[in-house]
Amino acid sequence: MPIVEKLLRSAKIKPHNFERFLRKSEVQITNKVLNQCIAMRRKEFNISTLPFENYNYMNALNKNCENIVGYTRIPTGIIGPVKFCNNENYVPFATTEGALVSSINRGVKLLNMSDTDVIVEDVGMTRAPIVKCPSIAEVKILKDWIRCNYIIIKQIFEMESKHTKLQEIKFLQEGNHLHIRFRATTGSAMGMNMVGKGTNFVLRYLKKQFENMDIVTLSGNTCTDKKANAINWITGRGKHVVMEANISAENLKKVMKVTPPELANLNLQKNMVGSSLAATIGGNNCNASNILAGIFLATGQDTGQIGTSSSSILNLIDNTESLTATLTMPCLELGTIGGGTTLEDQKSNIDLICGDAENKVERLAQNIIYCIMGCELSLLSSLCNNDLVQAHMKFNRGL
């Protein structure tokens, strides 16, 4: 029996505490040691088919996952080349859905033949705690005090970070409860933890100034994080990204086998009228979340934010001889450092997309919206031609 296993069994350590116990002991933590912990845990839970060897668990230790029993493999396809702004690169795409990579590539091919532009604006990450005051009058005093002392609040918020920059503070009030919505830019990181840390510093400071104020929670759901919502759709969160493409009728017919009037009309009836009848929030698109999910998985983004980040509106304008397509994504939440982006596979995929770009977050956002618009155009065209089912039967049913 290996020394590590013997130690853990003799101490009767529960499986989820293996690594924590070893860190406190004199055992040197290596990938080999972590593999032994995982092998023991797999015996405990009777797991035998999930792969676990040949993986760098040291990179994920105490950071990306707990109670690890192995890893799950996802097929990863390639999209591209993606060509715009005198740049060319490929985009790795993790998915289990057949026909999706092919559809995106078809749309990207069309966009590469068109006049395109992408604008990325950093509107900042948000965190909104709830505090409670004894009365609504004292809520008013608190709000006025924060407004008058914004410079002090900003200094406290940023005191332990070189990259976190507070942009604004807004209030949403319910009775004697006050939601304080902090918005800050966070450099190359998605920034939830950075903004949360700064917010916590401010809450401690406010508590000293207003002893009768109670801190209800660090996050009061008006941030708003990982939930369909209107506030991010209206005010933005993370990156506000807009793409424009001017597509000739000739190229549209050549690649997609449709005309500008056909595509514009279907977009109106489906993505505008249909989504309005269903009362979606940020759902004026075909399947933006599908493409976002594949790139998020491949690049180590927070997959909990796929739903909110994919909020977008596709607008198609028929110019008779051409089609003007715009895609607006007001709350794309992503980063190129921190979290899952530091894992080896995910970091490698980010490097494949971003290369030596000076602003890798901007470059990643540009590629994401480019791929999403490509698939939107491809899917709408398939629906116009009534060949969507045939494509899935061809690419999504095996040999």
Q: What is the pLDDT of residue 390?
A: 62
Q: What is the pLDDT of residue 397?
A: 61
Q: What is the pLDDT of residue 388?
A: 64
Q: Which of 132, 165, 177, 392 is catalytic?
A: 392
| Model pTM score | 0.95
Q: How confident is the model at residue 1 (pLDDT cuts 50, 70, 90)?
A: low
Q: Tell me what the mean pLDDT of segment 350-373 comes to.
A: 97
Q: Is 392 helix (H, G, I), strand (E, B) or coil?
A: helix
Q: Which residues contact 353 (CB under 8 A, 6 or more apart)?
A: 89, 90, 91, 92, 299, 363, 364, 367
Q: What is the pLDDT of residues 203-216, one digit of tens each?
A: 999 999 999 999 99
Distance (Å) of CA 134 to CA 13, 139, 205, 211, 347 = 47, 8, 18, 11, 49
Distance (Å) of CA 61 to CA 31, 50, 366 = 10, 19, 31
Q: Tell me what the mean pLDDT of segment 177-189 comes to.
A: 98
Distance (Å) of CA 42 to CA 6, 69, 97, 164, 321 = 16, 6, 29, 41, 62
Q: Which residues contact 180 (CB under 8 A, 6 or more apart)?
A: 128, 129, 130, 131, 146, 169, 170, 171
Using alpha carbons, select from 224, 241, 225 the residue that is nearest to residue 332: 241
Per-residue burial over 43-78, b if 16 or more Cβ lie within 10 Å, else e, is eeeeeeeeebeebebeebbeeeeeebebbeeeeebe
CA distance 39 to 33: 10
Using alpha carbons, select from 351, 350, 374 the residue that is nearest to residue 288: 374
Q: Burial of 19 by CB count in 10 Å (0-12 exposed, 13-18 middle, 19+ buried)?
A: buried
Q: Tell me what the mean pLDDT of segment 126-148 comes to.
A: 98
Least confident of 84-93, 179-188, 244-253: 84-93
* Residue 387: pLDDT over 90: no
> Can 302 be counted among the known catalytic residues?
yes
Query: Amino acid identity of 225?
Result: D
Q: Which of 5, 83, 97, 351 is catalytic?
A: 97
Q: Tell me what the mean pLDDT of segment 36-51 comes to.
A: 96
Q: Are 337 and 194 in contact (CB under 8 A)?
A: no
Q: How confident is the model at residue 399 (pLDDT cuts 50, 70, 90)?
A: low
Q: Tell me what the mean pLDDT of segment 82-90 comes to.
A: 92
Q: Which domains does the chain have, with CATH numbers?
A: 3-59 (no CATH), 76-122+228-395 (3.90.770.10), 129-217 (3.30.70.420)
Rounded to an integer, what is the distance from CA 333 to the centroid of its chain?
A: 5
Percentage, residues of the chain above pLDDT 90: 92
Two tokens at 269?
Answer: 């009836």
> Can 392 be counted among the known catalytic residues?
yes
> Can 226 be counted among the known catalytic residues?
yes
CA distance 399 to 387: 19
Q: Tell me what the mean pLDDT of segment 285-311 comes to.
A: 97
Least confident of 22-26, 69-73, 321-325: 22-26
Prior bond of 185 cis (ω within 30°):
no
Q: Which of 302, 318, 345, 362 is catalytic?
A: 302
Q: What is the pLDDT of residues 213-237, one digit of tens each?
A: 999 999 999 999 999 999 999 999 9
> Can 170 be counted among the known catalytic residues?
no
> If you search the block for the tokens 């917010």, which residue do you land on?
199
Q: Which of 132, 143, 197, 226 is catalytic?
A: 226
Q: Is 247 helix (H, G, I), strand (E, B) or coil?
A: strand
